[in-house]
Structure 1
Amino acid sequence: MNTEQNQATPVALDALPAAVRTFVTAHLAHDYDAEMASFAEDATVTDEGHTHTGLGEIRAMLTRAAGEYTYTTEVTGAYRLDDARVDVVHHLEGDFPGGVVDLHYRFTVGAGGLIADLVIEP
């Protein structure tokens, strides 16, 4: 557990900001339209060290990532970091290198209530 998470407050999924709840539910269902509706137009997503900016790049990254491997995903925890940031932990098992990983989806929600930034990392 990282230092930031040690200072975080555990939170139930239904208590997360609406855009984050929408993203998590849609992500688990591979509903790309609903996922995209949760992002601000100028949002950024950083995954595997690459930052994707804007809805077009984000959609391309999400659909490409979902099609690369076969895997199962389970949300194992959620934490409020501060008023604008939350960390949702996903446990993945599948045919990707290593076969098992816990990924932190660290969201920043912007002033409009939509996701402004998402960092995905172990």
Structure 2
Amino acid sequence: MSQSRPQTIAPNALPEVIDRYLKAHRAHETAAAAGSFTGDATVIDDGNAHQGTAAIERWLDRAAAEFTYTVELTGAQQIDATRYVALHHLEGDFPGGVVDLRYEFTLRGGLIERLVIEAA
């Protein structure tokens, strides 16, 4: 399988479902954010996998309550027809206080099937 090279795109060119998820997540609207995922979706964050919408909703609730932080969308890429990357800069009261994160989304049927969050 060949590796696709990411193409830089404008952050406002991300698919609507990704934009909807990011806005809901920033606003701590857990149910709306979880509704952006397929029923069998997987989120991998900090090395931990969260499978299915109930587990993703628990992860979102925990993430919203654990720390206070600001998020800035700093860039976006399209890898192929179903995979996109959103680059974020976070500042807050979490360990280290500042981090740049890479959110890689895989879409299926107009929803998010997989999200991998890792340090950029």
TM-score (norm 2): 0.91
Q: Report the CA distance between 1:25 and its aligned residue.
A: 1.4
What's the secondary structure of 2:60's corresponding residue? helix
For the residues of structure 1 that align with 2:11 and 2:23, how far apart are their CA atoms?
10
1:121 aligns with 118
Identity across matched positions, percent:
50
For the residues of structure 1 that align with 2:83 and 2:28, how far apart are their CA atoms?
23
Query: Could you tell me which of 21, 29, 32 is aligned with 2:30?
Result: 32
Deviations 1:21-78 (A, max 9, x none): 1111111211112211110000000001010000000000111011111111111011
Deviations 1:80-120 (A, max 9, x none): 0111100101110011111100011110001x110000001
For 1:39-54, what aligned pairs fall within 5 Å after superposition? Answer: 39-54=37-52
2:75 aligns with 77
What's the secondary structure of 1:87's corresponding residue? strand
Q: Report the CA distance between 1:18 and its aligned residue.
A: 1.9
Q: Report the CA distance between 1:13 and its aligned residue.
A: 2.8
| Structure number having the greater helix percentage | 1
* Equivalent residue pairs, number: 117
Residues 71 and 91 in structure 2, CA contact (< 8 A), matched pair in contact too: yes
What's the secondary structure of 1:57's corresponding residue? helix
For the residues of structure 1 that align with 2:31 and 2:19, how far apart are their CA atoms?
14
What's the secondary structure of 1:34's corresponding residue? helix
Q: For structure 2, which runs of at least 5 residues remain unmatched after alignment?
A: none
Residues 45 and 117 in structure 2, CA contact (< 8 A), matched pair in contact too: yes
